[in-house]
Structure 1
Amino acid sequence: MYYEAGRPTMPMSSATAVPPGKYMYTPELPHLMQALRPTYWVVTEPVFMDHLLMHVDQKIRLETAAGPLAGTLAGVAVDHVQIDVNGVPHHVRLSQIVYFTKA
């Protein structure tokens, strides 16, 4: 079942790609997770996320709590970004990003 903001919207196969910020329960998830349908809260910063979304598919440099990371911004989700560094995807929690710039 495909979910947007906690509501089922349409059935999808597990082979269908899901865009960032969207969630899909698949048969591969443990039965317990399907039965419980867990929810969680994420503190978001909409303006910061909007600025990040303007740079998808562009080269950026993230300054994180662990140090700098430079690569291509592949996606932005409600709780993390994906930045591809030399073809290797890195998933960085938004809460760990101090700032970003164009690379």
Structure 2
Amino acid sequence: MKLNAAQIERTLNQLDAQAIPAEHPAISKLERLFGDHTYFLDNSGLCIVEPVESEQTDGRLGVIVNLASWADESAGSLQPHEPEPTELVVDLETDLRH
């Protein structure tokens, strides 16, 4: 799922991670491997947000899915694996009342 700027900011307010900028040189390789998403790096590795499929959430909530784990403690390289949904859920709805 590709997130807009407000959704990225909301996600980062709820998740201890860094968003990989769309212009980063690694994005084209990540998109070839995993598809068109907004990518994040956190303590466990590389992750994305996927919408929670439910009529009640109406696309407002997203689950964090881990795509690759850090290969070692130095967090210098990633080891891809099958997508693993986590228990972390973020609210993507933007608050326009600011």
Give me the TM-score of the superposition, normalised by structure 2: 0.27
Give me the TM-score of the superposition, normalised by structure 1: 0.26
